[in-house]
Amino acid sequence: MKYQLANIYALSVCAVTFALAGCTGSQPPIGAAVATPQSMRGDSWMLPEAKNQDLLYLSTANPGEVSVFSYPGNKLVGQLANLEEPDGECVDKAGDVYIADIGNEDVVEYAHGRTKPIRKLLVDDGFMPDSCAVDPETGDLAITNYYPGGGSGAYTVFVYVNAKGKPKSYYDSDAGYTYFCGYDNKGNLFITDDSRYGISELPKDTGTFINLTVTGGDFYAPFGVQWDGKYLAVGSGDTSQTRGTGDTAIERLSVSGSTATVMGSMPMNEASSVYGFWIVGGIIIAPNFVNPFSVQFYHYPKGGKEVRKLSIDYTYAAVVSAAPNLLNRPPRSGFRSKG
């Protein structure tokens, strides 16, 4: 479980370096390390031009910060500090970014390109928020939680109507550790479960979870979950269990009733432990929480070999926020295929 990995953080020496390839301007090739003194600052900072650019937010557990890059240029333009252990992230229509800070037991909202929080949503005492998702139609904010004390209600999802006020709580009695969550285009909420390796659905306007049975294809240890416009994209963990490769894959699921059918699989070569991925403009951004300690970029849903890479330790999740002055169109990938 995530909290057991805290011991791993303590054993590592934190050094943030970045290896970029295929970016605009003068950039080193993949594998070249570039020192970034700005990332060592203890305070939050943001370059002035960031508010007018599409931005990639990457949460890193050690140290507890969120690194902000221009997108797709991948230039480091800011850092959000004063976070204990930032985990999952999500973004709303306005470009506001929500960060689940499991260490401080709250969810912090930042306006696009800004360093001061708009507000903090405190979950119930003792609950530890791990991830979040925003319903694109209603603006409702869902938060998955872990309660280390166990017992009834230990694995609860909180939903804030319009991302405000007091949340409604929903409990999945069959779930283990609720991990990531994501809404589809109809307002149905899906959560992944780290302990029983399953997926559950909370249908719109209901209070009862449906535990889904996944059929077809190879599926093991679900992580991130996101609606890709046609299917539900779910990260399938260490595929050495089913394919003998050890690589991570993205399974595209069609859900009907209590059954989720694998309609296609997207391989991600050299990726492992991809947690909070993000799909945007035909690109999937895949942070590796452990070895190979990088954020990899693949064409979606083709997959295969990465088209770009950032080398950052312990990256847990990624989101792309569109600049407010560009909200009439989705963020663009800006990537070109090699060869």
Burial class (CB in 10 A: 0-12, 13-18, 19+), 45: middle
Give per-residue pLDDT as tens, 22-59: 333 333 333 323 333 344 447 999 999 999 999 999 99
Instruction: Compute the radius of gyration of the chain from its Cα atoms.
Output: 18
**Residues 336, 37: Cα–Cα separation, whole Å:** 30
pLDDT score, position 148: 65
Which tokens sit at 286?
A: 């895949």
Whether residue 174 has pLDDT greater than 80? no
pLDDT score, position 335: 56
All structural domains of the chain, each given as residue ranges with its CATH number in brackets, are 2-326 (2.120.10.30)
201-215 mean pLDDT: 91
Alpha carbon separation from 320 to 67, 112, 115, 306 (Å, rounded): 12, 10, 16, 18
